[in-house]
Amino acid sequence: MLTLTSAHETAAHRWPAGPKLAAAALGSALIFPVQALPVIGGALLALAALHLVLGWGFTREAAGRLWMLWPFLLVLALWHLWTGELRAGAVIAGRMVFAVALANLVTMTTRLDAMLAVVERLLTPFARFGLNPRVLALAVALVIRFTPVLLDKAGQLRQAWRARSPKRAGVAIVLPLVLTALDDADHVAEALRARGGL
């Protein structure tokens, strides 16, 4: 499985996981009602400055992880060009980039086991309803950990398709991707059982 934690050690790696996750949630909640472009631009500049303070190598890696947003930003730009509402499109794009960059900052500087411990503590009240907080926390951790893995495997399947056909892959890779995901899930389940399960 891929790790989301950055190999570039920064001061933020030593900050506790709980406050970082709370700051990410609060920052995302506060940015979405904002309609003023200067405020969104200021928030993006402040976040960029925080990245730069943590180091140039870290900033480059974080910017690389934001590259995955380009299809969404392209669709936003084309749609709002079509409708003539460029300002509304810029507001939505700014919010999206801010929220994703902030979430990336937290995941890049926080070990998965530290996030897992925070989620498990937050889910403790659900134990009275018969839900196991550890199982729920592990499910959250697996979703976080496997999302980039599945995206990477989807990319590999698209490349394999391109090597064999001039046509676009489209839905043709959906079934192999689903089977790959099920196979990975089976392996993870076996690994958990081998280690005593939950």
Span 76-90, pLDDT tens digits: 899 999 998 989 999
Which residues of the chain are under the pLDDT cut of 50?
Answer: 1-2
Residue corresponding to tokens 């959250």: 140
At residue 27, the pLDDT reads 92
- Cβ neighbours around 61 below 10 Å, total: 16
Tell me, yes or no, whether 119 lies in a domain: no
For the chain, how many structural domains are there in total? 2
Question: How far is the C-alpha of 193 from the C-alpha of 108, rounded, in Å?
Answer: 29
The CA dihedral of 76, 78, 83, 85, to the nearest 10 degrees, is: 50
Q: Does the pTM exceed 0.85? A: no
In a domain, 44, yes or no: yes
Helix segments in the chain, DSSP class H: 17-31, 37-53, 56-66, 70-83, 86-109, 112-122, 133-164, 174-194
Last residue of a domain, one of 110, 141, 173: 110
Q: Do residue 139 and residue 181 come from a single domain? A: yes
Cα 160 to its chain centre, rounded Å, is 25
The answer to whether residues 2 and 100 belong to one domain is yes
Residue 60 CA neighbour count, 13 Å, CB half: 5
Domain of 189 in residue numbering reads as 131-198
